[in-house]
Structure formats: C-alpha cells, structure tokens
Amino acid sequence: MGFYNDIILPRLCDLAMRNTDLMPYRERAIRAARGRVLEIGIGSGRNLPFYGAAVKQVIGLEPGPSLLDMARHAPRGDAPIEFVEASAEAIPIEDHSIDTVVTTWTMCSIPDVDRAITEARRVLKPGGKLVFVEHGRAPEPRVRWWQDRLTPAWRRISGGCHLNRDIAEVVRSNGFHIEQMHTGYMNGPKPMSFMYEGQASPR
C-alpha cells in the first residue's frame, strides 16, 4: 500500500479535484476568506489561484508530502503562502491567530475529524470564520443506505474518505455556530455528491 498511498493516490486525488463542476464551489469559498487564512488539507493547491487582495497570508496545511509538493508548484494568486506538513488533529499554530479557516473536500478523510474541527476553533481569532465546502451524508434514506454500505470499501481506496459523514453535525458538535449553509447534490452519483457549503463562527 506504500506505493499506492504515496505515489498513485495523490495523483488520483489531484485528478478528481480538477473536476470543473467543483470550480463554482471553490470560488465562493475562497471569496469569503479574509486576513490570515489557514487552509486545512490544501492538497495539490487547487484553491490557491482564487486567493485575492482580502487575504494577507495563506498557511497551507497538508499531511501528505506528495500532495504538498504538488501544491508548492501550483498556480497561485497574490497572497503570500506558507506550506506546513502537519496533521489537522494537531495544528502547529498558536491559539487565536487565524482570521479564516478554509476546508474544501477535506473533512471526509481526516481520521479524527472532531479533534480537527476543535483544533480549527482553537486557532481562530474571536470573530473568525470557518468556511467549508464538503461532501457528506445525504438526507434521503435510500442514498444514506448506499453511503453506509459503500464507505468501508471506499475508504480503503480513497485515502480514508467517508461518504457518510454528517458535516453539519461535525461542525456544530465541535464548538461552532453555523451562520449560513447551502446543501444539495452536484453532478455525479448521489452517494458521492451531496454537498454542504457554508460558514460558521466559534461559539
């Protein structure tokens, strides 16, 4: 599994994240970012071109060295960028020092997602925002049935991705108030395409 996880999987992740249907979600999320930004799970850097003048610095956190190397060579906007190879469950950043935390298609694959969102709350300044775009648990029972049954096998081939995480519940139960959120299906198989798009503030 070392060759697959270290070489093949990062390239498959980058290929999946090139999907043009994801572009409007990216643009809306990054447009909401302000000040000093922490992007959790920066991956291959697909969000970097969208950071504009409202962003003073981007800290790109990523545990995978292959993806981080891709991000270092990705096209980017004007904001200064610092790359950090680290886990979202133990963010090496001081308390209350970040204006915006961004996650895009990341919460699905963090092993201890509750701890990661608690860490995001820790590093946010008072008045800071969590901006997220994630896929997850659908509202229809039949789609949920498929999500629950596909997830064990899907996790093994997709770097730990869960199809059935209730993203709204993850955010709320770890110290955030959701200020706005839109949900719905994007193009693709329903078990893999129910989207949560929103902003939340620390309680």
Residue 9's contacts (CB-CB under 8 Å, 6 or more residues apart) are 158, 159
Residue 132's contacts (CB-CB under 8 Å, 6 or more residues apart) are 29, 102, 103, 104, 107, 167, 171, 196, 197, 198, 199, 200
pLDDT number for residue 4: 72
Q: pLDDT, tens digit, for every residue of 121-168? A: 999 999 999 999 999 999 999 999 999 999 999 999 988 999 999 999
8: DSSP letter:
I
Q: pLDDT, tens digit, for every residue of 46-104? A: 999 999 999 999 999 999 999 999 999 999 988 999 999 999 999 999 999 999 999 99
106: DSSP letter:
-
* Sheet containing 98-104: order of strands: 81-84, 55-61, 35-40, 98-104, 124-135, 194-202, 176-185
Class level of CATH domain 2-202: alpha beta
Structure tokens at 173: 């139960």
Task: Give the type of residue at 128.
Answer: G
